Amino acid sequence: MKKLINAPVDFVRESLEGMAVAHPDLIKVHHDPTFIYRTDAPKHGKVAIVSGGGSGHEPMHGGFVGIGMLDAACPGEVFTSPTPDQMLEAAKKVDGGAGILYIVKNYSGDIMNFEMATELARSEGIRVLNILIDDDVAVKDSLYTQGRRGVGTTVLAEKICGAATEQGYDLQRVASLCRRVNLNGRSMGIALTSCTVPAKGTPTFALGDREVEMGIGIHGEPGRERMSIKSADEIAQMLAMSIIEDISYSRTVREWDEDKGEWVDVELMNHAFEKGDKVLAFVNSMGGTPLSELYIIYRQLVEVCEKHSLQIVRNLIGPYMTSLDMQGCSITLLKLDDEMIQLWDAPVKTPSLRWGI
């Protein structure tokens, strides 16, 4: 393993320390427990958005803390969900009295830890709701299983919901917006190489010189299928088609019910894309794939979307949700409505996403 790191055990902390000194105007990093928060938090009267998850996906989530996006982010160890005390302390720090939305990716670890944090925060009198992101169409089954992973749509939900909180949306309204974004988003990824977790020191999986993993997640977990490498156009088509052809998908998720004061099972349904839909197209690098290649994928994605009468009205192209040094990419398509477009366009100023300000 060759990486620009010191001792692997210090990887996450040192990276956060670097981030803190790089962007003191935007963020602060709290240690023990670890979380990143807006320098100007708490914003009185504003709903605060807190997300988090394992480290190794930089800039997600810490790089999205700032004006118009996240109020705080809780980084765990590499690929390991953060702990409830991180989430609780982050919530306390950024609570402006209007409540907290936890945006949670659908992994058993993240869910359990965020659920515990929700219970703890509620018991301390902080209003918390949690919304799950589960958009990875590589995962097929939903009945009796963990369901789909949370991937690319997370970044888009954080941007859109962050903008909504700046515009004064209340907690329930931000939560429904976030749920809607999740239900409108679908993703699919491919790995050309495995990532190498610093503490492990060797690649998580081994791929031959002409092999790729289709349908991977963002933790070096193997994908659905190993196949021989194809052209960028074929890969873009395969990724895009598995998203476009994904039929309506329903599952049950647990959300906190404020009226009942307990967890309730909520039945949710994604509807398949339809001709004429306006979409945001997000082509994401897994960390080791350069921008030049992402544009080649995007070029074909535009053709596929045109062919299926999906109208790309916004895009995002770059390394926003990575898997350490993995080479590969993911595509996310998010169906947009006017409200979402306006919120997407709203100003954002974070270390890794910035416009309009």
Partner 1 sequence: MKKQQILQWLQAFATEIEQNKDYLTQLDAAIGDADHGMNMSRGFQKATASLASVADKDIGTILKTVSMTLISSVGGASGPLYGTFFLRASTVITGKHELTEEDMLEMLQAGLDGVLQRGKAQLGDKTMIDVLSPAVTAFSQAVGEGKGMHEAMQLAVAKAEQSMKNTIPMIAKKGRASYLGERSVGNQDPGATSSYLMLKCLLETL
Instruction: Examine residue 15 and tell whether it contacts partner 1 (CB under 8 A).
Output: no
Of 45 and 201, which has the nearer Cβ to ligand ADP?
A: 201
CB closer to partner 1, 163 vs 286: 286
Q: Which does 228 bind (CB under 5 to 8 A by kind): partner 1, ligand ADP, Mg ion, none?
A: none
Closest-CA residue to 112 (of 144, 154, 83)? 83
Whole-angstrom distance, CA of residue 323 vs CA of residue 330: 11
Q: Which is nearer to Mg ion, 107 or 273 (CB)?
A: 107
Phi, psi of 298 (to 5 degrees): -60, -40
Write the interaction track for partner 1 spanning residues 178-207; mark x where CB under 8 A is met and - where it is not. -------------------x-xx---xx--
Residue 306, φ and ψ in degrees, nearest 5: -60, -45
State which of positions 85-124 bind ligand ADP (CB under 6 A).
Answer: 108-109
Element (H, E) at 174: helix 171-184
57 is annotated as an active-site residue: yes
Binding pattern to ligand ADP, positions 68-87, x when CB under 6 A? ------------xx------
Q: Which residue has the tokens 């789909």?
A: 148
63-92 residues in contact with Mg ion (CB under 5 A) are: 79-80
Pick the binder of a copy of itself from 65, 297, 333, 336 (CB under 8 A): 297
With CB cut-offs between 5 and 8 Å by kind, which of partner 1, ligand ADP, Mg ion, none does residue 149 bind? partner 1
Contact 72, 142 (CB under 8 A): no
Buried b (16+ CB within 10 A) or exposed e, 18-43: ebbeebeebbbbbeeebbbbbeebbb
Active site residue 219: yes
Residue matched to tokens 């916004």: 314
Closest CA to 333 of 353, 352, 318, 312: 312
Catalytic residue among 23, 31, 57, 271: 57
Verify binding: residue 239, partner 1, rule CB under 8 A. no
Per-residue binding string, a copy of itself, 32-71, x by CB under 8 A, is: -----------------------xx-xx---x--------
Q: Report the C-alpha gap between 37 and 53 in whole angstroms.
A: 15
Does position 116 interact with partner 1 (CB under 8 A)? The reply is yes
Q: Which of these ranges, 11-19, 81-89, 136-144, 214-222, lies near a copy of itself under the rule CB under 8 A?
A: 11-19
272, interface contact from Mg ion, partner 1, a copy of itself, none, CB < 5-8 Å by kind: none
Which chain residues interact with partner 1 by CB under 8 A?
33, 54, 76-85, 107-109, 112-113, 116, 136, 138-141, 144-146, 149, 197, 199-200, 204-205, 217, 219-222, 224
As annotated, the active-site residues are 57, 219
Which chain residues interact with a copy of itself by CB under 8 A?
2-7, 11, 14-19, 21-22, 55-56, 58-59, 63, 192-193, 209-210, 212, 229, 231-233, 235, 287-299, 302, 315, 317-319, 322, 324-325, 327-329, 349, 352, 354-357
Which chain residues interact with ligand ADP by CB under 6 A?
80-81, 108-109
